[in-house]
Chains A and B, each alone.
Chain A
Amino acid sequence: MPDTNVAPLPDGLVAVVKKDCPTCVLVAPVLAAIAESVGVTVITQDDPDFPQSADWVRHDADLALSWHNQIETVPTLLRVNNGSEADRIVGWSQKAWEEFTGLSGLGTDLPEFRPGCGSLSVDPNLSDELAVRFSGSTLKSRRIELASLEDDIEAMFERGFSDGMPVVPPTEARVLRMLEGTSRSPSDTVAVVPPDLVECTVEKVAINAVMAGCKPEYLPVVLSAIEAACTDEFNMHGLLATTMPVGPILIVNGPIRHEINMNSGLNLLGQGNRANNTIGRALQLVIRNVGGGKPGGVDRATQGSPSKIGLCFAEDEEGSAFDTFAESRGYDRDASVVTLFPGEGPRLMFDQKSRSPESLTKHFAEMLRVNVSPRMVMQMETVIVMSPEHMARYRDAGWDRARFLAELEALLMVDGDDIIAGADGIEEGMPAFLAGHQLPKFPPGGIHVVHGGSHAGLFSTAIAGWVSGTTGSVTITKEITR
């Protein structure tokens, strides 16, 4: 955001240079020639007397002019009319400089072309500091000063900002860098975050994304995930408050998976990949810090689970025999989307011997029947993360998603007599009126299949859900906007 106090550029020709650039040194005589004929204002970034001591040379000591005018290369030659830039060229090109200035015979003794150098205002050692100096004031959050004897990381723990693991201290420079990951304004409201129902801005999300360890390019995923989590349908408040061990699980589809190097292969549900491990965490930190949702407060999980720390992964779309998970949710393959599923931690589904799709599907059905409890039916959805070696059974047999789900659902009909309360001497169970009925284990559309994992291993994963539908949480997919 431009600082309105910065002086406008002088009208006419303006050149931005630094002495520590061979191309600028090369064109110094040309600038003097232009100064003598049509006039030029030279803005020097380092040496105040470069290219010479003259009234047409101005020192940009604090680099404010360079920063506010987005100078990336020196030399940059600008034409300014009534205080605003009309045109610019960068580097040295004999022909281009003649055309730009309307002067002939400029630097005819020089090489025809030389690229410029990096502007001091984009020097990696300075750019963070300059961003804070010139645009930090646009950030609205309260500043917290840490004592110089205080350890930054420890200070974050002591103030209650951490989920139990170290967080990156959200300095202004880091937050400004994070905000470069989105085109949205820092002051935009993203969502009203439960449980305290606080209006959360892009800036607050960026702060927590820094703390989680995200890179700026992950921010759009985090923003969309927060928007999805804070809808009435997803019911983040209920998911947080429940005594069950559940949290929002993030599944990412579309081109952004590759752009931010997400893991959809080996160990996709585990450690090791920065995007997978920080995006879900950023969402949880927003719930904790902005929403005020902490264990022992509104979060009443009896035992909790790793899905409450932040579980996020991507689908291996390219290796799947099925349509993509996003397509099954009604989105195109070329859309980047994030799906939030209210779920527990992942559980192994083991099958090393099935060689036919029929056998594997039957075994999957057996293993899925125990989700939450074998006596719990129709109330909770599930995610199946199917490994490439299991997916191969369906590819070889020509099954698509619809065929797989139809076969699986048929195998997941449960005899009500076996699961009503009191059956087989077990007091837990479904109400007695369901005796004599065949009951589906999962509600309609409640089996979500995502493909992922390494190419070795006949193991898939079940993620059991929390109460689905209007009395619990509805699985939500949201397009990611940059």
Chain B
Amino acid sequence: MTVVLDPTSELRPETRERVARPESLNGLTVGLLDISKPRGDIFLDRVEEKLTGLGANVKRFKKPTFTKPAPVDLRHEIAVSCDAVIEALAD
């Protein structure tokens, strides 16, 4: 993994701005990120059913552990393969 130094004034956050909220989910790919908390998958299974019913394509992702942020590679994979993401927290 390459780490670079920020060449800017750092007055703005490093993360890029969010894309505009889509008008409809029809035909879009929606990522579901399971953060690996117990039973989160049951909740997301139901969300997937609902989204598929709305015409969305669903891709499932899972963090290795809920105790740490998602690895940068996983975030990149989600960013390049999805139009929208739902992150689920269950407990």
Contacts and interface: CB of A to CB of B under 8 A. Distances in A.
Interface of A: 139, 141-150, 152, 155-156, 158-159, 161, 169-172, 175, 193, 196, 198, 200, 203-204, 207-208, 211, 285, 289-292
Contacts of A147: 1, 72-73, 75-77
B6 interface: yes
20 contacts: A141-B5, A141-B10, A144-B3, A145-B1, A145-B3, A146-B2, A147-B77, A148-B73, A150-B76, A152-B2, A152-B4, A171-B5, A172-B5, A175-B5, A196-B9, A198-B9, A198-B11, A203-B5, A290-B9, A291-B9
Contacts of B7: 141, 161, 170, 204, 207-208, 211, 285, 289-290
Nearest to A161: B7
B2 A149 contact: no
B20 to A, nearest CB: 17
Interface of B: 1-11, 14, 16, 72-73, 75-77, 80
A251 B3 CA distance: 35
B11 A292 contact: yes
Given A147-B73, A149-B77, A289-B7, 10 more contacts: A141-B5, A141-B7, A141-B10, A145-B72, A148-B2, A148-B73, A149-B80, A156-B4, A193-B9, A289-B9
Interface of A is mostly: mixed
Contact of B9 (A156, A172, A292): A292
B11 A196 contact: yes
Given A149-B76, A150-B76, A159-B16, A144 B9 contact: no
B5 A143 contact: yes
Specify which of A158, A159, A291 lies most central, judged by the most chain B CB atoms within 10 Å of its CB.
Answer: A159
Nearest to A169: B4
B9 to A, nearest CB: 4
Nearest to A171: B4
A289 B77 CA distance: 27
B48 to A, nearest CB: 25
Contacts of B2: 145-146, 148, 152, 155, 169, 171
Contacts of B76: 147, 149-150
Contacts of A290: 7-9
B14 A142 contact: yes
A148 B9 contact: no
**Shortest 8 CB-CB contacts between residues of A and residues of B:** A147-B76, A198-B9, A142-B6, A141-B5, A289-B7, A146-B2, A207-B7, A289-B8
Contacts of B72: 145-148
Contacts of B73: 147-149
A193 B8 CA distance: 11
Specify which of B7, B8, B14, B75 lies most central, judged by the most chain A CB atoms within 10 Å of its CB.
Answer: B7
Contacts of B80: 149
A294 B7 CA distance: 14
A161 B9 CA distance: 11
A200 B11 CA distance: 12
A207 B6 CA distance: 8
A207 B5 contact: yes
A161 B8 contact: yes
Contacts of A211: 7
A204 B7 CA distance: 6
A159 B6 CA distance: 10
A172 B6 contact: no
A143 B3 CA distance: 6
B3 A146 contact: yes
A145 B76 CA distance: 11
Contact of A144 (B14, B75, B77): B14
A301 B5 CA distance: 29
B45 to A, nearest CB: 28
A302 B3 CA distance: 37
Specify which of B9, B14, B80 lies most central, judged by the most chain A CB atoms within 10 Å of its CB.
Answer: B9
B6 A148 contact: no
B80 to A, nearest CB: 8
Specify which of A150, A172, A193, A291 lies most central, judged by the most chain B CB atoms within 10 Å of its CB.
Answer: A150
A172 B8 contact: no
A161 B8 CA distance: 8
Nearest to A206: B5
